[in-house]
Amino acid sequence: MAKEAANVSDTPSRSVTGGRETTNSFDAVIIGAGFAGLYMLHRLRGLGFSARVYEAGAGIGGTWYWNRYPGARCDVESLEYSYSFSKELEQEWQWTERYATQPEILRYLSHVAERFDLKPDIQLQTRVTAATFDEAADCWTIQTDRGDRVSAQFCVMATGCLSAAKIPDYKGRDSFHGETYHTGHWPHEGVDFTGQKVAVIGTGSSGIQSIPIIATQASHLFVFQRTPNFSVPANNAPLSPGAKQDWQVNSAVYRQQARTVPFGMLFEQSEKSALEVTPDERQREYERRWQLGGVCLLGSFTDLIVNKEANDTATEFVHSKIRGIVRDPAVAEKLLPRSHPIATKRLCVDTDYYATFNRDNVTLVDVLATPIEEITPTGLRTTDAEYTVDSIVFATGFDAMTGALCNIDIRGRDGVTLKQKWAEGPRTYLGIMVAGFPNLFTITGPGSPSVLSNMAVSIEQHVDWIAHCLEYLRQHQEAAIEATVDAENAWVEHVNEVGNATLFPLANSWYMGANIPGKPRVFMPYIGGVGVYRQKCEEVAAKGYQGFALSSSAVAS
């Protein structure tokens, strides 16, 4: 591509179809209209780039469009889980609860889309099926399931980290005569389980949030648990006028803090080791944070995710809480997480989860001890019993972080697919770009803090970085940017090194790809911390995109 082609195309090539003018060439195509895609569109338009967003859903919202299961809420506090780019937006939007529900977050995102007039550039109900880099023309050709075929100099993947829903391939899966649901594809009209016998399979965040509510409706609820999970109480409540006022006045300070702390969340982080304090002091600190609610338990001590002995103290604390809440000791024992250190699988945040097992209409089935053998026309059969149910809820999670990307036929240089490139696990530079795939950006991609952080903070950081990058290319009349193999190798090594210094590799988590049979066992997110990571990204940009090859033609040398 000639250098001048990197300039904003004020007049993208157009064709006229059936009397309706259509544009088939854009500066950027953005895939996904969730938190990331909406802001990316807003930023690029603001810089004068032409952009088209493709979204598979019938509405905007991404995660918050699809995950409508009962009890779906964000586990980051609402004030923090919001955009910071517009002071006016922040001043005019009023969150109602400490942790926002899915409908409230979806309303917020709809408000954002309306307020910034984003909808005209978003094509809904359109799934991108393929993206192919054209080395001769230095651009991406994007195809959709609706027959669109457009070209774009840049392709931005805003496909989400937890969007490729997964239902285990049980024998007889399609033979069930009742209704089946996946939490990540919940019917928009809602589901009333009143009077039904219901099976919920899975006790990750989605199971843990929905089980207490389904239990209040169902005549009987069977919870099929493979791995007991750690959960802490949300202590959710309406946001007080004082908290709202404080945020309005001090948000600039809070936002800046969130950008520099390890998880992008504002909970208090202790500077002490769990092992340097007395057992009493430790207990008091855990108890204080348990009462505060939410993931702040993780900030109790500095070494909980790097030192097993320290971690064991938090594990023991949560075990004692579970034993205190659940009246039947045998059920409590089954609920105790023992196979992984606390926080090495996503720490869940719940309302009444453990107490739900005190209800007479709830049965916990340990499918680690007695695995599910098959789905039958009337329910499920484990190795030791048959369960007759009316509905089955799969709260079985997602092909996380790489699934949504690899489900699209993305082809870079020499026709190599992203799936081929990542056969042994994802390889990226900074989690933003992939060697061999020029001008393709992955918002919160593997190798970035993404799912180990407040996604709102990490998304804004990536979007801003990408927007600056495109501006830089335009100013310097460069047509293409591509991660070098050396930079990518060094980054992957660094991500692994930092991950291996923690306890995360000890868990069979979706962070490790362990929930998908055959998926390489690789720790995918970057755990170096949001602040450290941001600094690194800024340094790279300040040095003229160190580790990237910039070229006026896309052939990186």
Tell whether residue 202 is a contact of ligand NA7 (CB under 6 A): yes
Strands 51-54 and 25-31: parallel
As given in the structure block, the two tokens for residue 279 are: 């057992």
**299 contributes a contact to ligand NA7 by CB under 6 A:** no
Which residues, 6 or more positions from 127, have their beta carbon under 8 angstroms from its beta carbon? 54, 56, 144, 145
- Which of 183, 402, 450, 552 lies at the binding interface for ligand NA7 (CB under 6 A)? 183
CB of 507 to ligand NA7, least distance (A): 9
d(CA 352, CA 4): 60
Look up tokens 């450290």; give the residue. Answer: 532
Piece of the chain touching ligand NA7 by CB under 6 A; list 20-28, 89-97, 119-127, 199-207: 199-207
Site membership for ligand NA7, residue 201 (CB under 6 A): yes
Q: How far apart are the first and last CA of the chain?
A: 15
Q: Nearest distance from residue 395's CB to ligand NA7, in Å?
A: 5
Tokens standing for residue 299: 């900030």
CB of 515 to ligand NA7, least distance (A): 5
Looking up tokens 């007049």 gives 11
Residues in the chain: 557
Alpha-carbon distance 14 to 290, whole Å? 59
- CA distances to 152, 440, 454, 524 from 161, rounded to whole Å, are 23, 16, 13, 11
| 356 contacts ligand NA7 (rule: CB under 6 A) | no
Closest CA to 490 of 429, 537, 542: 429
Q: Are strands 480-483 and 548-551 parallel, antiparallel or unpaired?
A: antiparallel
Give the x/- contact pattern for ligand NA7 in 125-164, rule: CB under 6 A.
-------------------------------------x--
Binding track, positions 433-472, relative to ligand NA7; x by CB under 6 A: ----------------------------------------
Assess 397 for contact with ligand NA7 (CB under 6 A).
yes
Out of 265, 389, 395, 487, name the contact with ligand NA7 by CB under 6 A. 395
Q: Which residues make Cβ contacts (< 8 Å) with residue 211, sequence separation at least 6?
A: 200, 203, 221, 223, 353, 356, 362
Nearest to 342 by CA among 370, 310, 374: 310
Is 510 one of the binding residues for ligand NA7 (CB under 6 A)? yes
* CB closer to ligand NA7, 70 vs 207: 207
d(CA 299, CA 502): 15
Residue 13 neighbours by CB distance under 10 Å? 11
- Greatest C-alpha distance within the chain: 77
Whether the CB-CB separation of 266 and 82 falls below 8 Å is answered with no
User: Which range of residues in 114-122, 205-213, 402-410, 431-439 is near ligand NA7 by CB under 6 A?
Assistant: 205-213
By beta carbon distance, the residue nearest ligand NA7 is 204
**Is 205 an interacting residue with respect to ligand NA7 (CB under 6 A)?**
yes
Q: Smaller CB distance to ligand NA7: residue 112 or 375? A: 375
Q: How far is the CB of 343 from ligand NA7 (least distance, A)?
A: 12
Shortest distance (Å) from residue 451 CB to ligand NA7: 6
User: In terms of CB distance, is 251 or 315 closer to ligand NA7?
Assistant: 315
Between 157 and 372, name the residue whose CB sits nearer to ligand NA7: 372
Cα–Cα nearest to 15, from 145, 148, 154 = 148
Instruction: Identify which range of 12-20, 150-158, 395-403, 418-426 contacts ligand NA7 by CB under 6 A.
Output: 395-403
**Is 384 strand, coil or helix?**
coil
Is 204 an interacting residue with respect to ligand NA7 (CB under 6 A)? yes
**How many chain residues bind ligand NA7 (CB under 6 A)?**
20
96 phi, psi to nearest 5 deg: -100, -25
226 is an interface residue for ligand NA7 by CB under 6 A: yes
Residue with tokens 């002091």: 281
The minimum distance between CB 407 and ligand NA7, in angstroms, equals 17
Which of these segments, 33-41, 202-210, 269-277, 540-548, binds ligand NA7 (CB under 6 A)? 202-210
Q: Which of 101, 227, 351, 444 binds ligand NA7 (CB under 6 A)?
A: 227
The amino acid sitting at 138 is D
Which residue ranges make up the site for ligand NA7 (CB under 6 A)? 162, 168, 183, 201-207, 226-227, 346, 367, 372, 395-397, 510, 515
